[in-house]
Structure 1
Amino acid sequence: MTGIETSHQVACHCGTVQLRVTLTEGFASARRCSCSYCRMRGAIAVSARIEGIEFLAGQDNLTLYQFNTGTAKHWFCKTCGIYTHHQRRSNPQEFGVNVACIEGVSPFDFAEVPVMDGVAHPSDAGGRSRIAGVLRFEALD
């Protein structure tokens, strides 16, 4: 899963919300986060600049969730409830895109995914990002 500046189709589970995204670092930016919200959501996200997302359908069917500082904006389909993307608190000029919503991609395609320390968020810890651990997947077949 490599490639730089790659464009992909993105959709929620029911297909109402559809986007085209250009990933800034391809799939090399894949990561999880350990903050209270991301621990519960469990998604792997990849990076796209704000201008790297084009809404194709269903933008009016998105609902927004914000918490704590309100800087990060997390969007979900109102119909199926799937998280598609979020505007990052660590870099509000960037979106995190749910890899499970990218056509032809599964979270299980990644053998290892770094988990960023969202408990000691870079915006609260002097701007330094820290990897808290690594999430591994090993297929049994």
Structure 2
Amino acid sequence: MKVEGGCHCGLVRFEAEVADGPVEVLACGCSICAMTGFQHVIVPQSAFRIVEGRRETTTYRFGSGSARHIFCTQCGVKSFLTPRGRPDAMSLNLRCLDEGHGLDVTNVAVDQV
């Protein structure tokens, strides 16, 4: 199933293929995800594409530096990231998907993504 989304101002847009059926949404307990309310929908990097605004993003790294937190330079919203424990994946913020995305989600709490 194809989903689309983006940042608050609309400068950065993405699309991704998500498996059909129930999708686990991970509520990560790390410091930055807890503070920002990021809700992770994990997809393979090969299933993810930035459609608009690649040049309008900036990356923040902290701690081990493994995770790449990618933000819109205009509005500051983080719509997606490369998870620390899954460098072959992208994590989409469920809150940044377009309305009517159609995903059947199950929330799962985890210590870290």
TM-score range, shorter chain: 0.7 to 0.9
Out of 90, 93, 97, which is 2:92 matched to? Answer: 97
Alpha-carbon offset, residue 86 of structure 1: 0.6
Q: Which residue of 1 aligns with 2:46?
A: 51
Q: 1:104 to 1:12 in 2, by over 3 A?
A: same
Structure 1: stretches of 5+ with no match in the other structure = 1-5, 122-141
- Residue 27 of structure 1: CA displacement? 5.5
Relative to structure 1, is the Cα distance of residues 105 and 113 closer, same or farther in structure 2, using a 3 angstrom cutoff? farther
Relative distance call for 1:24 and 1:36 in structure 2 (3 A) is same
Instruction: Name 1:84's counterpart in structure 2.
Output: 79
- With over 3 angstroms needed to count, the CA separation of the structure-2 counterparts of 1:74 and 1:115, relative to structure 1, is same
Gaps of 5+ in 2: none
Q: Deviations over 1:11-67 (max 9, x none)?
A: 111110011111246651211111112111111110111111111110100110111
Task: State the structure with more CA Rg.
Answer: 1
2:36 pairs with 1:41: yes
Give me the whole-angstrom Cα distance separating, in 1, the residues matched to 2:22 and 2:98: 13
Q: Which residue of 2 aligns with 1:75?
A: 70
Normalising to structure 1: TM-score of the pair? 0.71
Contact kept in structure 2, 1:25 and 1:47, CA below 8 Å: no
Contact 1:17 1:77 in 2 (8 A): yes
Q: CA RMSD in A?
A: 2.1
What is residue 24 of structure 2 aligned with on the other side? 29
Asked which structure has the greater RCO (Cα within 8 Å, sep 6+), the reply is: 2
Identify if the C-alpha distance between structure 1 residues 86 and 27 changes in structure 2 by more than 3 Å, giving closer, same or farther: farther
Q: What percent of counterpart residues are identical? A: 27
Distance 2:99 2:21 in 1: 14
Amino acid at match of 2:52: A
- Shifted more, 33-42 versus 58-67: the winner is 33-42
